[in-house]
Structure formats: structure tokens, C-alpha cells
Amino acid sequence: MKNLVSLIFALFVVTACTKSENGISVENADTSQHTADFPQRAKDMTIYEVNIRQHTPEGTFKSFQEHLPRLRELGADILWIMPIQPIGKKNRKGSLGSYYSIRDYKSVNPEFGTLDDFKALVSKAHETGLLVILDWVPNHTAWDHTWITEHPEYYMTASEAKIVGKELGVDADYYKKKGMGELVYEADWDDIALLNHFNPATRAAMIDAMRFWVTETDIDGFRTDHAGHEIPMYFWEEASSALNPLKDLFWLAEWDEPRMHLVFDATYEWGLLGLTEAVAKGNASAEDLHEHIQKDIARFGMHPFRLNMITNHDRNAWEGTIRERYGDGGKAFAVFSFTAYGAPVIYSGQEVGLNKRLKFFEKDTISWEDPDKYFPFYQKLNQLKVDNPALWNGGYGGMPEKLEDGNKDVFSFRRTKDQNTVIGIINMSGENQTVRLSQKELSGQYIEAFTGQSQSLGEIKMSPWAYMIFTKQQ
């Protein structure tokens, strides 16, 4: 349970802590010194997804550690590190394999370094003011995991999968056998074997493995892969009950259902990601975004953190780069993801305009050249979020409110928290647009965040994909 006393105390102390101009929280740089528990502790935080393999030419923990000051300068707060365990060799995809095909839950992939290297990385991240959450894969293992032979009862059989599949409403051929007796894999993921979390022994073994990383490496939480579907909710209740007493942990689920927030602090907003891509292609409108957000709030409430992102490892590898999916509107939708709703995520390389699909099963190093100056753009978005409580995550921020602007191609919104008001106007089209904000309550002078200029709101002309974020202290 979250510590009520620390939450109350944090109202007076934490809100006074702000990031400096380079994004570092001067008053509280060392993450071991905090006065609030999750989720409040993450109320204004940005998550940064780390692809260790591709982040540096070496692709190691040691080489990535050199990037920590730069990421703190960017304004990142929580490092979500993609899985670091050894990758299965049996049925491996590509030469290096998928991070998500794990051969041993309690070891480190030698491709990235040693366990001591990872411990040093976590320690240095904490010193730098960064939190570390580990990408956890509870749904399946590699085919050469020791459990396959030592504990086959941990896995889903074809007959069991048939029952589960019927309950989930999936196609009859969704679960397939791979020449390993009755064990099955899921969808087209033939490099993994599906676990059976309806078995208490499976759950106990998985929780034991998770406990190892909390106690041995001092990580700050988990991003859990494929967290719903075949995994019963009571597994997560058992896991959180066992692990939270060890340390205050941040729980992020790659799933999109309200029930997950019985345990998790944050969940994916997959629907919003897909809808923004549709808007960018002209297949949906800004009006659709307003409607979607209000439905999402009605379904989830304001308390949960809902991830609002425009890329991640899956989207980049399999669907395309930000430019491929958003065209010239990439920055406009990045502004949307940081200001309109939810908790923002940055993927490795996004902050320098990554414009290639990173190979998933091979080495494919990110280029850190930044000719179009994306780094200061994302740095500004991070600082804007921290400086304005209206933009904070979940219920710590303000409720998104649609502003009538007379234009279905422009996303205009207002968010207010206490004495802080933020108004956003984002042209979500490749055409010039005009908006007219005539509400009396919008009178007065506002500061536009990207120019620093003071102006009143009324009729505003916008170039293609333009964005304006106005702030006001009442």
C-alpha cells in the first residue's frame, strides 16, 4: 500500500522541486531521496525506452552508461530498459534473436555485459536522477529455457490453450504446436513457448525471478510485456503483494484494459496511438481525437497513467518510422503526446529524429546526429510538462477539455490544475488553417511556450502542422 503520510507530506515538499534549465531536478537529483511513493512520485515524469543493443556501437551497459547525463539533460526521468536476459538459441529469429525470447530469467545476456555491469548502470542512473524499470516477459519463454525440460507443467498445452482461446475469442489456429509435445506458441511468435499462469507453481517461479532483480539490482519497477490476455489478474495481485514490500515500485503494463489498474500505475493507450496515425494520414480528424480521449477517461477515469506515444520498439520495427507514419506532422503529434492527455514516452533515438526502422533481430546502431535539432525540441516538451501542473500525468494533471475553434482539422484543448492553465492549438493537417477562439473565459494574455511571446487568443492563422502551447498562471 502507498504510504499516506508521505503522500500528504509530498504536497508541501515535492511540488517545490523543479528541474533546472538542463532538465535535472536540482533539489532531488539522487533518486534514493524521495518524499512520495508511486504513482505520485511519477506525476510529472517522462518515460524513456532504452534499446541497449542499438543505442551505442558497442551495444553494452557500460557504453550506454555514458549517455545517462545526456538523457537527464533531455529531461527523461524513468528509463524503461528492454529485456536484458539471455536470448534463446532454439528457433531463434535472426542472428541475435528477440529480446522477448528469454532463456534464463535470472541471468544477463552476455551481448550486453555482466550482472555487475547492469548493477553499476542502475546505481549510476540513480546518482544521475534517473529511475530504472526493467522490461519483464511473463507470458512466454524461449524453447531452450530450463523450465521446458525441468518443469513442463509450467507451460500451456494444446488442450489447455484451446479452452483459453475459446474464452478469449481468438481464432482456432492462434495457438500452434512446435514439435515439443503438447506445448504451444502464440500467434506467429514461433521462437517462444507459452506459459500457463493458471498453475500456482508457474506464478511462484515467475515472482521469484522478479524478486531477484529487485533485491539484487535495485531496479525501480517493471514494464510488463503482453500483460493481459492469457495472464490472469490474480497473478499481478500476487506479484505486487510479494514485491511491493521490498521497495516502492512503478508498474507499467503493456495492456489496454481498466482492470490492470488494480495493480498497475500505467497502461498503454494503444487506441490513441492508432488514431493519431489515422489523423496524420487524413483518415480521421481532430474531432475524433477529442471524442476518443473523453471515452477513454470515462472508461479508465483520470487517476491511471495512460501512455501517449508516437513510437516504441514495436511500432518502429514493424510499422515504420515516425516520418513514415506521420509524414511532416511528426513534431505536431509529439506535442500532442506531451500535452493533450496521458504520460509521454520517448524511444531510443526519437530525440534526434530517428528516421530508420531499427532491425529487431540484428545489430543496427542508432546515429546520434541531430541536423534538425530535435533534442532541444523534446527538451522543451519535457520542461513544459514539469513546469505546468495542468500537464502532469493522470489525475495529478488537469482534465482535457475541448475548445470550440470552428475547425475540425485543428486540435484545440484546455487543461487547468489549481492556478495553472494550458491551452494547446495543434494543426493536424498539411494545409493552412484558421481557428477562432471566442470563449469569454479565454480572455487575457498568455505566454506561447515555444516563442516566449505574450499574446491574447482570438483568430489564429496556422501553417501546416503548426502547434502553439499557451500557458497562464491565474
Distance CA 229, CA 174 (A): 12
For 216-240, how does the pLDDT look when each residue is reduced to its tens digit (9 = 90+)?
999 999 999 999 989 999 999 999 9
Answer with the residue of higher pLDDT: 19 or 216. 216
For 85-112, how does the pLDDT look when each residue is reduced to its tens digit (9 = 90+)?
999 999 999 999 999 999 999 999 999 9
Q: Which domains does the chain have, with CATH numbers?
A: 4-398 (3.20.20.80), 402-473 (2.60.40.1180)
Give the chain's mean pLDDT: 93
pLDDT (average), residues 235-261: 98
**pLDDT band for position 439 (50/70/90)?**
confident
pLDDT at 138: 99
Task: State yes or no: pLDDT of 346 exceeds 90.
Answer: yes
Task: State yes or no: pLDDT of 28 exceeds 70.
Answer: no
For 201-217, how does the pLDDT look when each residue is reduced to its tens digit (9 = 90+)?
999 999 999 999 999 99
pLDDT at 29: 57
For 133-152, how does the pLDDT look when each residue is reduced to its tens digit (9 = 90+)?
999 999 999 999 999 999 99
pLDDT at 61: 99
Task: State yes or no: pLDDT of 281 exceeds 70.
Answer: yes
Cell of 266: 500505467
Task: State yes or no: pLDDT of 179 exceeds 90.
Answer: no
For the chain, what percent of residues have pLDDT higher than 70? 93
Task: State yes or no: pLDDT of 30 exceeds 80.
Answer: no
pLDDT (average), residues 430-445: 90
pLDDT at 33: 63
Task: State yes or no: pLDDT of 17 exceeds 90.
Answer: no
Adjacent-strand bridge partners of 131: 78
pLDDT (average), residues 454-461: 92
For the chain, what percent of residues have pLDDT higher than 90? 86
pLDDT (average), residues 147-166: 94
**pLDDT band for position 32 (50/70/90)?**
low
pLDDT at 22: 43
**pLDDT band for position 116 (50/70/90)?**
very high
Task: State yes or no: pLDDT of 412 exceeds 60.
Answer: yes
- The count of C-alpha atoms lying within 13 angstroms of the C-alpha of 61, restricted to the half-sphere facing its C-beta, is 24
